Structure 1
Amino acid sequence: MTSTSTPPGLARFNTLEEHAAFTALHEACASTAWAKRLLAARPYATPEDLYAASDAAMAELTVTDLEEAMAGHPPIGRPKTGDPTSAREQRGMSGASDELKAEMLELNLAYQERFGHVFLICATGRTGEQMRDAVRERIGNPPEREREIVRTELGKINRIRLARLVEED
């Protein structure tokens, strides 16, 4: 049986003052265009409606919007100091060997040199080895293909972050 009432965290998000709601969304994704689209569609009846709006907004981001969104993500293996979100998401690298960390640093630099932005992957639940293997595999992609993979990975990250936002009381 599903409840027809809006979950408390989502109800709170729906009623946040616009600037506060924008700030919360911008913390989830650094794309201003994405955050504005989600703001404009409030209120959301269910978390699934919010996730669907996020997916739709992600699909319409321009290359510039994607670059803005990616700029909000630190390199894998180097979460932002004092940022519990990036530390939690990159937990798979925390126990990695020094060799793996050094290899990820080299791969991150090579990837950034090739594509002009950080290697982006939904790191939640992935091991350091899985992330290393993914960057190794993706570094050979054509830029257009890689951009679409990044768009998909950002969408996954945004859904996880939005879930945390609307599940909080």
Structure 2
Amino acid sequence: MSSPRTPGLARFNTSDPAAARAALHEVCASSAWGSKLLAQRPYATTDALLVAGDAAMAELTAEDLAEAMAGHPPIGRPTPGDPTSAREQSGVQESLREELLELNLAYQDRFGHVFLICATGRTGDQMLAALKERIGNDPDTERETVRTELGKINRIRLTRLVETGEELVETDEENAS
């Protein structure tokens, strides 16, 4: 369990709404997910934040999930200059990138979005095997698999956000409530 005195959690809890919203958007691109977490501040512990994140993930609509997935680059092609996607996809070897990208295109044709998997701690071979297996899923099964994987990613990113103690970037966003 995390202490309420975790510097990053305290900073998140007390940051202005625009900065907290921006930080949550870096964790998950779903505005509905971020709004739900923002509305429940302050959090007593990191665990309480993670539980709230899980609950918000479970409530996302298909449209909310699509918005969240749009914030993720295809496996095998991390966003240039983005240390988060580079770190999360570090297990992908150059020799697998082409096959992953080809299968990702086939997956996108089938499901209408990128293949989403919690890549942290997985090898490129493991991600490729999961992609080959999941491309055969029906759309409803795959949507719930994506929800589960996105939840794992969000937990890792939320933990990193509040445990590292990094400064939240102050923004000038007007409609941050």
* Range of TM-score over shorter length: over 0.9
> Following the alignment from structure 1 to structure 2, what is the Cα–Cα distance between the partners of residues 148 and 29?
16
> Following the alignment from structure 1 to structure 2, what is the Cα–Cα distance between the partners of residues 73 and 3?
28
Assess if the C-alpha contact under 8 Å between 2:2 and 2:45 holds in 1: no
What is aligned with 1:160?
156
Call closer, same or farther: CA 1:114–1:21 in 2, change over 3 Å: same
2:120 to 116, 121, 124: 124
> Following the alignment from structure 1 to structure 2, what is the Cα–Cα distance between the partners of residues 3 and 80?
31
Asked if 1:105 is matched to 2:104, the reply is no
CA-based RMSD: 1.1
Asked if 1:63 is matched to 2:59, the reply is no
Call closer, same or farther: CA 1:3–1:34 in 2, change over 3 Å: closer
> Following the alignment from structure 2 to structure 1, what is the Cα–Cα distance between the partners of residues 155 and 139?
24
What is aligned with 2:168?
none
> Following the alignment from structure 2 to structure 1, what is the Cα–Cα distance between the partners of residues 136 and 91?
23
Q: Helix, strand or coil: the match of 1:92? A: coil
> Following the alignment from structure 2 to structure 1, what is the Cα–Cα distance between the partners of residues 94 and 2?
42
Give me the TM-score of the superposition, normalised by structure 1.
0.95
Give me the TM-score of the superposition, normalised by structure 2.
0.91
Matching residue's letter, 1:151 = R
Call closer, same or farther: CA 1:37–1:125 in 2, change over 3 Å: same
Assess if the C-alpha contact under 8 Å between 1:96 and 1:128 holds in 2: no
Which consecutive unaligned segments of at least 5 residues does structure 2 have?
A: 166-177
Q: Helix, strand or coil: the match of 2:13? A: helix
What is aligned with 1:80?
79
Question: Structure 1 segments of 4 or more deviating over 2 A?
Answer: 2-6
How far the C-alpha of 1:4 sits from its partner, in A, is 5.1
Q: Helix, strand or coil: the match of 2:56? A: helix
Matching residue's letter, 2:136 = G
How far the C-alpha of 1:105 sits from its partner, in A, is 1.1
How far the C-alpha of 1:102 sits from its partner, in A, is 1.4
What is aligned with 2:22?
23
Call closer, same or farther: CA 1:33–1:3 in 2, change over 3 Å: closer
How far the C-alpha of 1:6 sits from its partner, in A, is 2.6
Matching residue's letter, 1:148 = E
What is aligned with 2:141?
145
How far the C-alpha of 1:147 sits from its partner, in A, is 0.1
Q: Helix, strand or coil: the match of 1:91? A: coil
Q: Helix, strand or coil: the match of 2:119? A: coil
Matching residue's letter, 1:160 = I
- Report 1:42-53 matches (<5 A): 42-53=41-52
Q: Helix, strand or coil: the match of 1:49? A: helix
